[in-house]
Structure 1
Amino acid sequence: METSRPVWDRFVRFFHWTVVSCVFLNYFVFEAGEWPHQWAGYLATGFVVARIGWGFIGSRHARFSDFFPTPSRLTQHLRAVRMGQPVHHWGHNPLGALMMLALMSVVLTLGFTGWLQGTDAFFGEEWLQDLHRYLANSLMTLVGLHATSALIMGRVERTRLVKAMVTGVKERY
């Protein structure tokens, strides 16, 4: 049985940690509406757009075709986990893929709503500011769920998931 494999290429890892940094800085350090906050948001949004492109032309496990969470893949995965027999996935498992797509969608929507707030048509619109704040809080909830799930699923699937996002090599133990 194969125990390790290069999975996450340099771009995927750089994308991941860049977006993590931007989200952390924007939520905990930078003042909302100030230029560092705006540019960190634009950087995160740009990286998500680039990651979407990489999902079509990137390395094997970076491609959406390798992990897209179809209903049947999700059902099979959940059934196997519930039965205590999770199937090993070298790339994203179906729930991890669903989370990745949700996180990227929220980051894109945050970037869009943030950008809209700087336009003449929407400047100072309270509903848009509220939506942006709600999305930011939702993102942080998803981030917490993502991190917790990575730790739990790493144990359940006996895989070093966090280490893989640093080294690029996914190891089974």
Structure 2
Amino acid sequence: MGASNTPQSNEGAQSPPELWDPLVRISHWLIAVAVIANGLLNKAGGTIHIWIGWGVLALLALRFVWGFLGPAEARFSAFPPDPRAAVSHLIDLVRGSPRHYRSHNPAGAIMVYALWACLVVVTGTGLYMTGAKSPITIAEEKAAVAAGDWSVLVKDDDDEKGEDSKVLGEAAKEVHEIAANLMLVLALIHVAGVAVESRATRRNLVRPMLVGRIKDK
């Protein structure tokens, strides 16, 4: 999900470099599938939805650790967020003279961090709404309720703490939905950006996230 913002020359006959290691590629596609599944396919708040949310949280944690300990191209230092460089790159793209980058261009790097920020907010609010309970615990509670045992859902709402918790829960739900919808919009922009960039630079930018290498068209 990240790489060097250093421009790359097209000259030379060397083999394409290994850009993305397996962990980066696998985590990228698993998160993409999870976003589609939870955002468009399964029931919000359902057991599967929660299982997928925990899976995304684990993938994010692993990717963030990899951002410090992984190979050079995977480290955060290789693709720092630089708004000015991103704007400059977009201007070059519009002018028809985009520079070639080893992998992510500056605009792509900004998108990566924006998507990660949305994922952090979505998973964080999801944890708050479920009380950070594991999917197994939630499934057991639902089974108990289905069997007629409502005691697992009984809470003390008579004090101010209970009321405050309810207000915070509603706020978390609102933020969760907004961040999730924003993430879907950003994902669409990301896909469109990859398509435009691939055409403008005559490089297939999807290929390296599939097999780890870039190949000029």
Q: When the two structures are superposed, what TM-score results if normalisation uses the length of structure 1?
A: 0.90
Change (3 A) 1:56 1:83: same
For 1:25, the equivalent position in structure 2 comes to: 37
Matched, 1:159 2:171: no
Deviations 1:67-124 (A, max 9, x none): 2132453244234324322111112110001001110110111000011111284598
For this pair of structures, how many residues does the alignment match?
A: 173
Q: Distance in 1 between matches of 2:187 and 2:83?
A: 23
Change (3 A) 1:17 1:122: farther
For 1:57, the equivalent position in structure 2 comes to: 69
2:212 to 160, 168, 172: 168
2:175 to 106, 131, 135: 131
Report if aligned partners of 1:6, 1:169 keep a CA contact under 8 Å in 2: yes
Structure 1 segments, 4+ long, off by >3 Å, are 120-124
SS in structure 2 at match of 1:6: coil
Letter in 2 for 1:155: R
Q: Distance in 1 between matches of 2:90 and 2:186?
A: 19
Q: Distance in 1 between matches of 2:81 and 2:185?
A: 21
2:85 to 51, 60, 73: 73
For 2:130, the equivalent position in structure 1 comes to: 118
Letter in 2 for 1:43: G
Change (3 A) 1:75 1:21: closer
Structure with bigger gyration radius: 2
Change (3 A) 1:158 1:9: same
Report if aligned partners of 2:87, 2:107 keep a CA contact under 8 Å in 1: no
Q: Distance in 2 between matches of 1:165 and 1:64?
A: 17
Once superposed, what is the RMSD of the aligned Cα atoms?
A: 2.0
**TM-aligned CA deviation for residue 21 of structure 1:** 1.2
For 1:39, the equivalent position in structure 2 comes to: 51
Change (3 A) 1:15 1:82: same
For 1:142, the equivalent position in structure 2 comes to: 186
Matched, 1:83 2:95: yes
Q: Distance in 1 between matches of 2:83 and 2:180?
A: 28
Q: When the two structures are superposed, what TM-score results if normalisation uses the length of structure 2?
A: 0.73
**TM-aligned CA deviation for residue 38 of structure 1:** 0.9
Deviations 1:125-157 (A, max 9, x none): 333212211111111101100111111111112
Change (3 A) 1:171 1:122: farther
Report if aligned partners of 2:67, 2:75 keep a CA contact under 8 Å in 1: yes
Report if aligned partners of 2:203, 2:215 keep a CA contact under 8 Å in 1: yes
- Identical-pair percentage: 30
**TM-aligned CA deviation for residue 167 of structure 1:** 0.8
